[in-house]
Structure 1
């Protein structure tokens, strides 16, 4: 009876060890150099990228960073690091977040990596790039991967002679403009959008209210995705010109 009991224990241990040795969850990566980058800069002017080197089926090195339009790296921008610490009240900087996530990846040999305090969006960018690369690495596809940058770009101009400041926000989803918001606000933070008296006065004077013209301009930009194809609204020439100028700045912010 005792021998039978010991035999069963031994058999169970052998079975357990065998199953561990044949863990099907382990992913085999093909050796090579892999890279992924976003198709545009984020609203702060930085484009995230990730480069991985696979050697002997394992992730040997990782290089993650952001680059701006003049080729500067965010991890080396001390002014940005100081601003990040001041805003987040954390000691995390682009350089420290970069190193922490790269080290996690090398140790874990898989994604996603854990977050770094004070760098939530950085983690999201890293993991999205990583997921795309590892999928290619399984197949040995070393072609550069380009991922659409989904973000909102907001720009404002100077107050006009009546004290109104124009502000536009252009949101991109999967490489295309998905939403546009625009308003002109005075020094008291009162906007023309929803201002019944202002809209009634403009309607009576020009034949079109400010809100009607704004809606037409937004619809054109959302539909065509290009400022060049946005026609001026009759009776709202100044609004049209201002809208198009701000839209052009917001779109150019993507790089």
Structure 2
């Protein structure tokens, strides 16, 4: 009789401990999600690249989560690369993609996955994917601190293609 009461108590305690552990993982997930402070955060390069474009990423956080992402490039006239028909046509014929396709694709991937590390490289737009990831990382670092100042970093050196 004493053994069965002891086994029952051990069983109840084991279930209680497991339930307690499960609850703590949920609170860890909630605190991870709340790591971002609501607002808009932006990062960009300090100058145009060798093709005349400057990448930027703007991320909006709502309820501690990535709600919207705006990734694109601006030229000296503040026109978007994703709306430049000549650029779109030229790039699409060479690489099979263009900024009107890969910008929204990268934006959606980050919103859907909520994790920059899980955003895949877009074939034909490797440099743009890397630019978006670099700038998004900086914007998200500010989102953790609640720092609304735009992060401006040096334009990475872009080597001009050699003509043959």
Match of 2:123 among 117, 120, 124: 117
Match of 1:99 among 97, 104, 122: 104
Structure 2 unmatched ranges of 5 or more: none
Match of 1:35 among 42, 47, 59: 42
Alignment-derived partner of residue 129 in structure 1 = 135
Alignment length, in residue pairs?
156
* TM-score under structure 1 length normalisation: 0.54
Structure 2 distance, partners of 1:116, 1:12, is: 45
SS at match of 1:116: coil
| 1:196-250 deviation per Cα after TM superposition (whole angstroms, max 9, x unaligned) | xxxxxxxxxxxxxxxxxxxxxxxxxxxxxxxxxxxxxxxxxxxxxxxxxxxxxxx
Structure 1 distance, partners of 2:85, 2:40, is: 29
User: How much does 1:138 deviate?
Assistant: 0.8
User: How much does 1:94 deviate?
Assistant: 0.6
Match of 1:69 among 47, 67, 76: 76
Structure 2 distance, partners of 1:97, 1:8, is: 53
Structure 1 unmatched ranges of 5 or more: 157-166, 168-188, 190-255
Q: Does 1:143 align with 2:149?
A: yes
Cα–Cα, structure 1 residues 50 and 8, in superposed 2: closer, same or farther, change >3 Å?
A: same
Structure 1 distance, partners of 2:113, 2:161, is: 40
The answer to which structure has the higher helix fraction is 2
Alignment of 1:186-225 (within 5 A): none
Alignment-derived partner of residue 15 in structure 2 = 10
SS at match of 1:23: helix
User: How much does 1:55 deviate?
Assistant: 2.0
Structure 2 distance, partners of 1:122, 1:100, is: 12
Structure 2 distance, partners of 1:155, 1:135, is: 33
Cα–Cα, structure 1 residues 83 and 9, in superposed 2: closer, same or farther, change >3 Å?
A: farther
Q: Does 1:59 align with 2:75?
A: no
Cα–Cα, structure 1 residues 78 and 8, in superposed 2: closer, same or farther, change >3 Å?
A: farther
* TM-score under structure 2 length normalisation: 0.80
Structure 1 distance, partners of 2:134, 2:149, is: 17
Structure 1 distance, partners of 2:161, 2:113, is: 40
**CA root-mean-square deviation:** 2.6
SS at match of 1:21: helix
Larger Rg: 1
SS at match of 2:32: coil
Which structure carries more relative contact order (alpha carbon 8 Å, separation 6+)?
A: 2
